[in-house]
Amino acid sequence: MTTVSKRVVAGFIGKGKQKANGTGYEQATYVFSNGEEQSASVFGTALLAHLARQNRPAELWLVMGTAASIWDALVELVPDDQISSIEKIWDAVSRAVRQEDMTQPLLDEWSAALSQTSRVKVVCELVGPANDRDSQMRVWKALYRNVGVGDDLTLDITHGLRHQPVLMAFMATTLRWFRRLASVEMYYGAFEFGNQVIELPLCQDLLDVTEALATYRYTDDFGQLVNVFGRLAAPEADLLDKLEQAAYADNVNRVTKKAVNKARAQLSAVGEVAALDRALAEALDEPLSWIAGDTLAQRLRRKAETAFAANQRLKGIVLLYEALCVAGCQKFEIDEPLSYDSRREAGKKIKEELGSDYASHFKNIANLRNAVVHGTDPEDQDLKAPLDALNPKAAQARFDEIVKSGYALFDTLMQP
């Protein structure tokens, strides 16, 4: 089933200042970065108009607040020739606002009336002040319910209590993964800067960087980090090509150290002024330095450690076994470490040269690897314990013991 993505504007509404004559609320004239000006009592209505003029119209406006919020101010969203059609519900909302006694059923009626008379679907949610977990979770539920898969999320962080937009921004980082959001952006109508509208595209950049770094830390794949670096730092095409080649080469085990060293030399001069560019360059230099300095066996061991740290046991045990095979062939000067005969010869040499304990470690790793990859029972009955899914804690502990013995064998094999 294909889902249709949309742009959602989400924000809070607080208390407003009544006009001296009692006819509505004081307005501010907001100035956007392109010089466009828009007067409104509620910044969200100005933002909706701005997005529409930018050919990025919002399909849904989520407004969250308390029983004392100025919900009736949302009427400024309605065209003048449509006001008469909603006067009854508007009066009811205004009375509830004055009495600070708003209810969700009344807000639902108000949302429907606003949606029918404007170009955007309006959803008003009574979430409370978000000063305790229960109220904070109502904010989360409102966001989760109204933001769909693949949507673009625009956060209005202008109104409400100071902590509410902060809470919403953190929720957006989580929602980005639950809903696979296409983008997250933030706008702030800054009263303290003469109602200048502050756009915060850096927040989207920081989200992208965070996700790329997390992907690298959990998977050892720095390809996404290269992509983000290419977009934000705009490096020379030659450097970006080298980085893309290095990331792919590392994934398919076709690393050329000479090319990696050239890329590292170029990276060292990046971002002397732009702090984020420099941070990205330093982050990229980490995997490149390992590629440039490590042997194949060391790279496989490091990738195995990363996989186990992320609890990716199938991937980890395969990589650890490969690391031991390559290290064994290097240790005993056996050609073609990836051939079956070479691995068998390495196992034999481990037993002859290092003793039965290390030979047992190698056999356990090999048998455990086969059982995990093929989903079969291990040949050795003692290896059933680390695969007992009905007792995961005990199984993980035994699995980790075997992995630890594999690391000890690897360290011994790498000794001259």
Please name each of the domains of the chain with its CATH number.
7-199 (3.40.50), 208-293 (no CATH), 298-413 (no CATH)
The least confident of 8-22, 75-89, 192-206, 297-311 is 8-22
**What tokens appear for 106 in the block?**
């009344």
Q: Is the pTM of this model over 0.95?
A: no
Nearest Cα to 93, choosing from 79, 80, 104? 104
Length of the chain: 416
Question: For residues 341 and 329, what is the distance between their CA atoms, to the nearest angstrom?
Answer: 11
Question: For residues 208 and 219, what is the distance between their CA atoms, to the nearest angstrom?
Answer: 16
Does 126 have pLDDT greater than 80? yes
Does 320 have pLDDT greater than 90? yes
Question: For residues 94 and 393, what is the distance between their CA atoms, to the nearest angstrom?
Answer: 58
Nearest Cα to 116, choosing from 74, 82, 71? 82
Of the two residues 234 and 397, the one the predictor is more confident about is 397
pLDDT digit string (tens) for 9-54?
A: 999 998 877 765 555 678 899 999 999 999 999 999 999 999 999 9
Nearest Cα to 321, choosing from 249, 409, 415? 409
Does 202 have pLDDT greater than 60? yes
CA-to-CA dists, residue 46 to 85, 155, 329, angstroms: 23, 13, 69
Q: What is the mean pLDDT of residues 361-389?
A: 90
pLDDT digit string (tens) for 65-99?
A: 999 999 999 999 999 999 999 999 999 999 999 99
Q: What pLDDT does 91 receive? A: 95
CB-based contact 9:44 (threshold 8 Å): yes
Q: What pLDDT does 272 receive? A: 57
Q: State the sign of the Cα–Cα–Cα–Cα dihedral 164, 165, 167, 168.
A: positive
Please report, to the nearest 10 degrees, the dihedral formed by the alpha carbons of residues 339, 333, 318, 370 taken in order: 60
The amino acid at 14: G
Read off the DSSP letter of residue 71.
Answer: G
Q: What is the mean pLDDT of residues 399-403?
A: 95
Q: Name 298's Cβ contacts closer than 8 Å, sequence gap at least 6.
A: 290, 323, 414
Question: For residues 248 and 245, what is the distance between their CA atoms, to the nearest angstrom?
Answer: 5
- CA-based end-to-end distance of the chain: 59
Q: Name 159's Cβ contacts closer than 8 Å, sequence gap at least 6.
A: 11, 12, 13, 14, 42, 43, 44
**What tokens appear for 243 in the block?**
């980085």
Q: Report the percent of the chain where pLDDT is more than 90.
A: 65
CA angle 283, 285, 286 (to 5 degrees): 70
Does 1 have pLDDT greater than 50? no
Q: Report the percent of the chain where pLDDT is more than 70.
A: 96
Report CA Rg, the chain. Answer: 30
Does 137 have pLDDT greater than 80? yes
Q: Name 66's Cβ contacts closer than 8 Å, sequence gap at least 6.
A: 14, 102, 126, 127, 128, 129
Q: What pLDDT does 343 receive? A: 76
Mean pLDDT of the chain: 90
The least confident of 128-142, 156-170, 343-357 is 343-357
Nearest Cα to 87, choosing from 66, 117, 125? 117
> In this structure, how many other beta carbons lie within 10 angstroms of the beta carbon of residue 230?
17
pLDDT digit string (tens) for 262-280?
A: 889 888 877 655 678 888 9
Kind plus residue range of the DSSP H or E element containing 11: strand 7-12
Does 164 have pLDDT greater than 90? yes
Does 7 have pLDDT greater than 70? yes
Q: Which residue in the block uniquely carries the two structure tokens 């650890």? A: 320
Q: How confident is the model at residue 2 (pLDDT cuts 50, 70, 90)?
A: low
Q: How confident is the model at residue 399 (pLDDT cuts 50, 70, 90)?
A: very high
Q: What is the mean pLDDT of residues 164-175?
A: 94
